[in-house]
Amino acid sequence: MMYRNLPALFSALLLMISVSVQAQNDNLAQNATASASTQDLAASNAIDGDPNTRWASAAQTDPSHITIDLGQQYALSSVVIHWEAANADTYQILGSNDGGNWTTLATETGGTFGDRTDTINVAGNFRYVRMNGISRSAGNEWGYSIWELEIYGQNGGAGSVQTLQAEDYTNAYDTTAGNTGGAYRSGDVDIEASTDDGGGYNVGWIDAGEWLEYTINLDADTYTVSSRVASDIGGGQFTIDLNGSEIVGTQNVDNTGGWQSWTTLTSWPIALPAGQHTVRVKVQSGNFNLNWVRFEPGSDGTDPAPQPVWSDEFDTIDSNSWTFETGGWGWGNQELQYYTGGDNAFIQYDSEVDSNVLVLEARQENPQGYECWYGYCSYTSTRMISKGKQEFEYGRMEARIKLPQTQGIWPAFWMMGNDFDQVGWPNNGEIDIMEHVGFEPNLTHGALHGPGYSGDTPINGTHDLGESADANYHVYAVEWDENGIDWYVDDVNFYSVTRSEVEQYGNWVYDHPFFFLLNIAIGGSWPGEPDGTSQFPQRMYVDYVRVYQ
């Protein structure tokens, strides 16, 4: 670009004075990255804090823009532009959170040729800030030129959502060379244009063993962590770490209906400390797309995070927590199994979850010669209860389980009111966190049973795993308080019921402690009997049971 004889020294002195005054605040742009539609001089010059360097667009190119990526969302308050003489008559300040969809924050007109400083007040939570030059000032025969561009606003804080766009990773490992999608940036991570709400880009072609890393600044608060995913196959799994420690357990990505059919997985709230953190998304199983990961704080930052109050990680079968119920009387459902006193349960290591797990085994054998309601028992199995040992009122109750799957099988993870011996069923209340029946290979269910709504209860929901129930571990959970109950699979809320909705059918009987049950039934009024296709033994693997309050 041709050198222009301008009073550069005087301009630089004015700029240094202006920058010095602003320095008492935090100029967000100085920790950011810059790019431009065209550049005769580098875009990074506009945010380097040096009043003697500048960005310059290509000559006589309208419109031209410079974009600042702040790395995360901020609540913006102002943009300060120190123009060199070749400046804009009309320009816009735009904001975006995905780099693809833009909101106009301000439009400035009437600019005159010559060095000047514009201070523009803006508002909104945005990650990307753009100066979009529409027309040059009269006498400007060159392009758009900025000595320094400063951005001011508030960092994070309660009420400020932090969204990490998947494609804006700071570090990554990909199992294949090159960007298969060919979009957005170079490198080995595979990126493509997204048709999700907001457009932008997503990371795709994800394989097991890959990871993506990001930097985030957080205030101390309670956060839910959400992930935007899509898959045309299902079976994807990933976890999320903060500074090397897992904060979001295994997220299971079901078949969402297409590679651009998006759904959001949301974690249980977790308390996180203030500061700059490294977030890592770690992939256990691929075949899914990732658009973003979002950290959303509590509304006022004062509510304490739910804390773990009890768990069984099943390194042993703890008799202080569990009792084996025994018998073959049909259990009110004409079930065919005899529940043994521990012969059908054991602990083993499972590399799939890298930990010990509890195994409940249903067998088509009866070596002890047990008698059932129909005669000699054809099957044996396990039923474990925490009655009188581990009982809880309200909170999040969850277990990570891989289910058995064959005709006639009926595994369950559920809870019963601890006043069963006094008032009987269903007056004590029953919360079915997870039930599966073999004739529905991909489905699980959640339900309530109580006075006026037991047996074929109208209070029930169904979740489609998108794969056979025995294909992978899934986290089955309820979140329960005095106002209602929500059911989850892998943090997907598939069914909810309020207290008032329950009371349309009968009394709400869920304001007292409940105990856990884990069992595999065989046959019975709901699943039907095993047939010629059924295979045994069948196993239910339980990685853990956890309670948060």
Which domains, and CATH codes, for the chain?
8-154 (2.60.120.260), 162-297 (2.60.120.260), 308-548 (2.60.120.200)
Mean pLDDT of the chain: 89
The pLDDT, as a whole number, for residue 158 is: 38
pLDDT of residue 2: 31
| Residue 11 confidence (pLDDT) above 80 | no
- Cβ burial, residue 253 (10 Å; 0-12/13-18/19+): buried
Question: For residue range 347-362, what is the model confidence (pLDDT) as tens digits?
Answer: 999 999 889 999 999 9
Mean pLDDT for 494-516 is 94
Ramachandran sector of residue 205 (left: φ over 0; alpha: ψ -120 to 50; beta: rest): left
Residue from 282, 342, 336 nearest 536 by CA: 336
Residue-level pLDDT at 160: 66
DSSP strand pairing (275-285 vs 236-242): antiparallel
Please give the helix or strand (H or E) that residue 354 lies within, else none: none
Query: Is residue 108 among the annotated active site residues?
Result: no
Mean per-residue pLDDT, 137-159: 82
Whether 500 has a pLDDT exceeding 60, the answer reads yes
Alpha carbons 223 and 163: distance in angstroms, whole number: 12
Maximal CA-CA distance, the chain: 106
- pLDDT tens digits, one per residue of 173-230: 999 999 999 998 899 999 999 998 767 889 999 999 999 999 887 888 888 899 999 9
The percent of residues above 70 in pLDDT, for the chain, comes to 93
What does DSSP assign to residue 369?
-
Task: State pLDDT tens for residues 100-109.
Answer: 778 788 889 8
Is 304's pLDDT higher than 70?
no
pLDDT, residue 155, reads 63
Instruction: Calculate the dihedral angle through the C-alpha atoms of 489, 493, 497, 499, rounding to the nearest 10 degrees.
Output: 100
The SS3 assignment for 491 reads: coil
Helices and strands (H and E) in the chain: how many = 3, 39
Identified catalytic residue from 430, 440, 479, 501: 430
Asked if residue 19 has pLDDT above 90, the reply is no
pLDDT tier at 15, thresholds 50, 70, 90: very low
Quick one: which H or E segment has residue 102?
none
435 has catalytic annotation: yes
pLDDT surpassing 50 at residue 20: no
How many CB atoms are closer than 10 A to CB 359? 19
Q: d(Cα 200, Cα 306) in Å, to the nearest integer? A: 34
Query: What pTM was computed for the model?
Result: 0.52
Q: Give the pLDDT confidence score for residue 272 in this predicted structure.
A: 85
Spatial neighbors of 238 by CB under 8 A, at least 6 apart, are 227, 250, 251, 253, 281, 282, 283, 284, 285, 288, 290
**For the segment 330-339, what is each residue's pLDDT rounded down to a tens digit?**
999 999 999 9
Mean pLDDT throughout 437-442? 97
Question: pLDDT category, 268, cuts 50, 70, 90?
Answer: confident
pLDDT at 477 over 70: yes
Amino acid letter, residue 393: E
Contact status, residue 149 vs residue 79, Cβ threshold 8 Å = yes
Confidence tier at 374 by pLDDT (50, 70, 90): very high
Cα–Cα distance measured from residue 230 to residue 414, given in angstroms and rounded to the nearest whole number: 30
Kindly tell me if the per-residue pLDDT of 71 is higher than 90. no
Residue 478 in this model has a pLDDT that exceeds 90: yes
Catalytic residue among 167, 210, 398, 435: 435
Whole-number pLDDT of residue 274: 81
Residue found by looking up tokens 């006022």 in the block? 300
- Rounded to whole angstroms, the Cα distance separating 36 from 54 reads 13
Lowest mean pLDDT among 15-19, 400-404, 413-417, 519-523: 15-19
